[in-house]
Amino acid sequence: MKRIIILMLLMSLNIQAQTQRFIYEMQFRMDSLKENYEKISFALDVNPKDVKFYEFSYLKTDSINKSRGNYENQYGSWFPSLLRDRNSFKNQNYELIGHDMFSFPSEDQINWTLTNDTRKFGEYTLQKATANFGGRSWTAWFTKEISISEGPYKFRGLPGLIFQLEDSRSQYIFTLIKNINLAETYSTTGFIETYYGRKPLEISEKTRVRKKLEFYNDPLHDMRNSYKDNMQGEMFVMGTKITSREQFNELSKKLQEMIRKTNNPIELDKAMAY
């Protein structure tokens, strides 16, 4: 691991709480050829019957939308949200493709190899485990002192909670930074099971690939169709104000170049062949 964040709040962990929310920081390289990292925080909600993994910022968005009674505060990103039953490797994936949210199931069995390597992380003793998953080789550090067989994203199945996780090329690094005891299960229907109030369309993996290719081939399809000459409202793409229909072709090419450069998903074997 390249860095360790001191975990302070796990000392108050209450295994009997209705829901355990673990916050992970993910460092990642969107462009595999660049050295700099970007960061996103994720929530892992371990509920009595299921487990959910999603961007932590969605909680703030959901709270604002609930208070206003609408969906004016926007959310959604390239990284999928997940829902699975407790003690299951079967995930329901929720992925934004273009401007639409889709849902599809996946079987994500991970076969871990335990080692005798250990190290301290605050008051906890971590043990090392390795696995190959999604076209990458992974190293996880977990503790048997917290008997929750879960971890970030689809990584679960170890005899304890995963604290740290990193692929062999250091392109994705997860670190557990906080935990929160919740008195009851938090409803995520406002940002996982529905998208702006609409239920995501369930598709197959084959259809998912087709949808992503369709979006790549014409990433500004919806905006182009809604654009009208001398329209009253302003329309921007990548910071550029649209003043003519001809701009869409050049901006589409720039978006396609950006998509190609950031084609470095966590499951590398699912990288698109653009």
Nearest to 174 by CA among 146, 157, 144, 154: 154
Distance of CA 213 to the CA centre of its chain: 20
Task: Based on the fold, state whether residues 150 and 220 are members of the same structural domain.
Answer: no
Distance of CA 160 to the CA centre of its chain: 22
Task: Based on the fold, state whether residues 18 and 92 are members of the same structural domain.
Answer: yes
How many domains is the chain partitioned into structurally?
2
Task: Based on the fold, state whether residues 115 and 213 are members of the same structural domain.
Answer: no
Q: Is 185 exposed, middle or buried (0-12, 13-18, 19+ CB in 10 A)?
A: middle
Task: Based on the fold, state whether residues 166 and 118 are members of the same structural domain.
Answer: yes
* Phi, psi dihedrals of residue 240, rounded to the nearest 5°: -100, 130
**Could you list the pLDDT tens digit for every one of the 274 residues in the chain?**
444 444 444 544 555 558 999 999 999 999 988 899 999 999 999 999 999 999 999 999 999 888 887 777 778 888 999 999 999 999 999 999 998 999 999 999 999 999 999 999 989 999 999 999 999 999 999 999 999 999 999 999 999 999 999 999 999 999 999 999 999 999 999 999 999 889 999 999 999 999 999 999 999 998 888 887 666 568 888 888 888 888 999 999 999 999 999 999 999 999 999 9
Residue 262 in domain: yes
Rg (CA), the chain: 20
Residue 3 in domain: no
List, in sequence order, the alpha helices (H) in 155-262.
Answer: 205-217, 221-226, 247-261
Nearest to 148 by CA among 240, 57, 48, 224: 48
Residue 55 in domain: yes
Residue 237 in domain: yes
Q: Is 253 exposed, middle or buried (0-12, 13-18, 19+ CB in 10 A)?
A: exposed
Residue 42 in domain: yes
Could you tell me the CATH number of the domain that includes residue 43? 2.50.20
The tokens for 178 are 């906080």
| pLDDT value of residue 9 | 46
Task: Based on the fold, state whether residues 134 and 219 are members of the same structural domain.
Answer: no
Task: Based on the fold, state whether residues 81 and 169 are members of the same structural domain.
Answer: yes
| pLDDT value of residue 245 | 86
Task: Based on the fold, state whether residues 116 and 51 are members of the same structural domain.
Answer: yes
Task: Based on the fold, state whether residues 229 and 167 are members of the same structural domain.
Answer: no
Full-model pTM:
0.90
Last residue in a domain, options 182, 214, 240: 182
Residue 130 in domain: yes
Task: Based on the fold, state whether residues 210 and 171 are members of the same structural domain.
Answer: no
* Phi, psi dihedrals of residue 169, rounded to the nearest 5°: -100, 5
**Gap between the Cα atoms of 15 and 24, Å rounded:** 18
Distinct helix (H) and strand (E) counts, the chain: 4, 14
| pLDDT value of residue 111 | 98
Task: Based on the fold, state whether residues 153 and 217 are members of the same structural domain.
Answer: no
Task: Based on the fold, state whether residues 65 and 146 are members of the same structural domain.
Answer: yes
Residue range(s) defining the domain that contains residue 18:
9-182
Contact 224, 256 (CB under 8 A): no
Residue 196 in domain: no
| pLDDT value of residue 76 | 81
